[in-house]
């Protein structure tokens, strides 16, 4: 019998000297800002980066700066189950695109939680044809037995160690080790919400941010982090929204990944009684905030993520005790931090490492760096175009921001796969973002990526 015909090997990649598109501007290359030309091939991948690149079409942004688009690995859109005023995949993802985010990691605490394969499939169906950016879907592993099946569909897992919005039941001390073992057998990123309810302070309902911080103190976060750090080394562990420099150092010393969030970097309990700034884990004191900022600015926090939690404004105008926890932020993540770069308070390479490169690598996505082969997901930034944030001008369905009046630098343009989706701050793309899952290089080290 004749051997089966060999599958025809794919045509070798075109090694054309000519790119399909050339973006000319300035970029940070080999440690300094310099004029560059970036060639994009017909597949929307970066083909060449140099002083001069030939191409069929040319787009010159002059003195403006080209940076990779960001990955926000922690957002909550509210589908399914959101109220009529709640965020949807179209509203949240257009906000993401305008803020320079080309990929979001979407969390499973929707109603119902994304904890079965059917619900994952249903959420993926909701993304198709309705999202301005790519979406990686996290699953909620309610029992070890479900993990393998969920892992064949999900882009990652989110593990809640304390109750929070949409999450009532969390694994007990007895249940957690088996869950972590099961998660370690699946090669997907696992983000942990680290608060330990046994260390919460019971008592009177807090009526302000200082009280909220006291009720869910940093000690409860540190205790939960220690539970998570007991996970097998093979687990791609990532601790979400770390609120203090000391907790960040503990995690970093164990070579585990973590994120910090703009609200913990820029806001503190000094926002007083404002229920809009109520969030889990809570804002900390001004001294803690300043120390966390210093840790971040110095490049000692691996990633930044928004924890975009777009509660409708009416619910945030309830008395403090009754208001839900969470703040919106996917659209303002990068613009707020670009404004700190413009003010010379944050090095641009720290921002691009923490918002673009490492989150994409952690989620196994070929983007986030100006490297040949990476997707041409790029932003054009003009640092002279600073503006003051206004909640009612943002694209989120919630229409408010805890950063009202803060300086921001929005990208002027956003290109996805070599196609312009934001022009002069307006969304001009199609709703054709894809559901993506991690693809780690064969033989790559499992576990958390190096944080250096």
Q: What residues have CB less than 8 Å from 238, skipping those under 6 apart?
A: 73, 189, 190, 191, 192, 256, 257, 258, 259, 303, 362, 448
Instruction: Write out the two tokens for 145.
Output: 């037995």
Q: Report yes or no: 172 and 141 within 8 Å, Cβ to Cβ.
A: no
Q: Is 307 a catalytic residue?
A: yes
Closest approach of Cβ 72 to ligand DOR, in Å?
14
Q: Binding mask 242-281 vs ligand DOR (x if CB under 6 A, - otherwise)?
A: -------------------------------------xx-
Rounded-to-integer distance, Cα 418 and Cα 63, Å: 20
Catalytic, out of 208, 213, 307, 357 = 307
Nearer to ligand DOR, 87 or 357 (CB): 87
Using CB under 6 A as the binding rule, whether residue 193 contacts ligand DOR is answered as: yes
The Cα–Cα gap between 53 and 13 comes to 18
Buried b (16+ CB within 10 A) or exposed e, 82-102: beeebbbbbbbbbbbbbbbbb
Distance CA 445, CA 244 (A): 28
What the block records as the tokens of 418 is 């070599």
The secondary element (H helix, E strand) that includes residue 193 is: strand 189-193
Q: Residue 301: which of 353, 345, 263 has the closest Cα?
A: 353
* Candidate ranges 52-60, 79-87, 303-311, 330-338; the one touching Zn ion (CB under 5 A): 303-311
Structure tokens at 412: 């002027």
178 membership: H or E segment, kind and range: helix 176-184
Indicate the residue among 310 and 368 with the shorter CB distance to ligand DOR. Answer: 310
Which of 307, 331, 357, 382 touches Zn ion by CB under 5 A? 307
Q: Is 221 in the site for Zn ion (CB under 5 A)?
A: no
Task: Name which position in 131, 165, 261, 268 contacts ligand DOR (CB under 6 A).
Answer: 165
The nearest distance, CB 326 to ligand DOR, in angstroms, is: 3
Cα distances from 352 to residues 81, 188, 308, 356, 418, in angstroms, run 34, 23, 19, 5, 19
For 104, phi then psi, to 5°, come to: -120, 145
How many CB atoms are closer than 10 A to CB 234?
15
CB of 358 to ligand DOR, least distance (A): 21
Longest Cα separation, the chain? 81
Residue number with the shortest CB distance to ligand DOR?
A: 326
* Minimum CB–partner distance for residue 326 and Zn ion (Å): 7
Out of ligand DOR, Zn ion, none, what residue 164 binds, judged by CB under 5 to 8 A for its kind, is ligand DOR
| Shortest distance in whole angstroms from residue 76 CB to Zn ion | 6
Using the contact rule CB under 5 A, the part of the chain among 24-32, 222-230, 305-313, 376-384 near Zn ion is 305-313
**Do residues 170 and 162 touch, judged by C-beta distance below 8 A?**
yes
Nearer to ligand DOR among residue 280 and residue 401 (C-beta): 280
Identify which of residues 76 and 406 has a Cβ nearer to Zn ion in the complex: 76
CB 395 within 8 A of CB 331: yes
Residue 180 Cα to chain centre, angstroms: 23
Which x/- pattern, by CB under 6 A, does the window 320-359 give for ligand DOR?
A: -----xx---------------------------------
Report if residue 113 touches ligand DOR, rule: CB under 6 A.
no
Query: Taking the complex as a whole, how short is the minimal distance between the CB of residue 194 and ligand DOR, in angstroms?
Result: 10
Interacting span for Zn ion (CB under 5 A) from 5-13, 63-71, 287-295, 300-308: 300-308
Among 309, 394, 431, 451, binds ligand DOR (CB under 6 A): 309
Binding residues for ligand DOR, total number by CB under 6 A: 10
Q: Binding of ligand DOR at residue 308 (CB under 6 A)?
A: no
Rounded Cα distance between 239 and 302, Å, is 11
Does 109 engage in binding with ligand DOR (CB under 6 A)?
yes
Given ligand DOR, Zn ion, none, residue 142, with its beta carbon under 5 to 8 Å by kind, binds none
Residue (67 or 73) nearer to Zn ion, CB: 73
Which residues of this chain interact with Zn ion, rule CB under 5 A? 307
Contact residues for ligand DOR, defined by CB under 6 A? 76, 109, 164-165, 193, 279-280, 309, 325-326
What positions carry a catalytic annotation? 307
């Amino acid at each position: 019998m004749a051997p089966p015909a060999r599958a025809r090997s794919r045509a070798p990649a075109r090694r054309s000297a000519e790119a399909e598109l050339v973006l000319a501007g300035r970029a940070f290359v080999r440690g300094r800002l310099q004029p560059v030309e970036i060639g994009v091939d017909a597949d929307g991948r970066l083909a060449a980066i140099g002083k001069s690149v030939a191409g069929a079409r040319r787009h010159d942004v002059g003195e403006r700066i080209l940076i990779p688009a960001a990955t926000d690995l922690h957002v909550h859109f509210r589908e399914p189950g959101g109220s009529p005023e709640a965020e949807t995949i179209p509203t949240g993802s257009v906000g993401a695109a305008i803020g320079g985010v080309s990929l979001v990691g979407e969390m499973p605490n929707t109603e119902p939680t994304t904890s079965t394969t059917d619900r994952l499939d249903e959420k993926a169906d909701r993304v198709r044809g309705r999202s301005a950016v790519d979406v990686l879907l996290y699953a909620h592993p309610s029992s070890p037995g479900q993990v393998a099946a969920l892992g064949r569909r999900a882009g990652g897992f989110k593990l809640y160690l304390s109750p929070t919005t949409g999450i009532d039941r969390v694994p007990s001390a007895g249940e957690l080790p088996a869950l972590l073992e099961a998660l370690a057998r699946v090669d997907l990123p696992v983000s942990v919400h680290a608060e330990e309810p046994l260390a919460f302070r019971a008592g009177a309902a807090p009526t302000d941010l200082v009280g909220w911080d006291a009720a869910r103190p940093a000690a409860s976060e540190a205790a939960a982090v220690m539970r998570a750090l007991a996970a097998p080394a093979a687990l791609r562990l990532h601790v979400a929204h770390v609120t203090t420099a000391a907790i960040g150092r503990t995690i970093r010393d164990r070579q585990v990944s973590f994120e910090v969030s703009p609200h913990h970097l820029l806001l503190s309990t000094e926002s007083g009684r404002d229920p809009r700034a109520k969030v889990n884990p809570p804002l900390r004191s001004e001294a803690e905030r300043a120390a966390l900022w210093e840790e971040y600015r110095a490049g000692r926090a691996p990633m930044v993520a928004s924890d975009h939690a777009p509660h409708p404004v009416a619910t945030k105008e309830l008395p403090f005790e009754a208001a839900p926890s969470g703040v919106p932020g996917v659209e303002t993540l990068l613009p707020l931090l670009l404004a700190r770069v413009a003010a010379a308070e944050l090095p641009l390479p720290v921002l691009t490492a923490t918002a673009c490169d490492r989150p994409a690598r952690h989620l196994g996505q070929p983007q986030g760096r100006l490297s040949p082969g990476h997707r041409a997901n790029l932003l054009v930034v003009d640092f002279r175009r600073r503006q003051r944030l206004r909640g009612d001008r943002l694209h989120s369905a919630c229409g408010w921001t805890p950063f009202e009046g803060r300086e921001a630098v929005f990208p002027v343009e956003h290109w996805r796969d070599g196609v312009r989706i934001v022009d002069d701050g307006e969304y001009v793309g199609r709703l054709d973002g894809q559901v993506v899952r991690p693809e780690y290089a064969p033989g790559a080290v499992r576990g958390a990526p190096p944080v250096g």
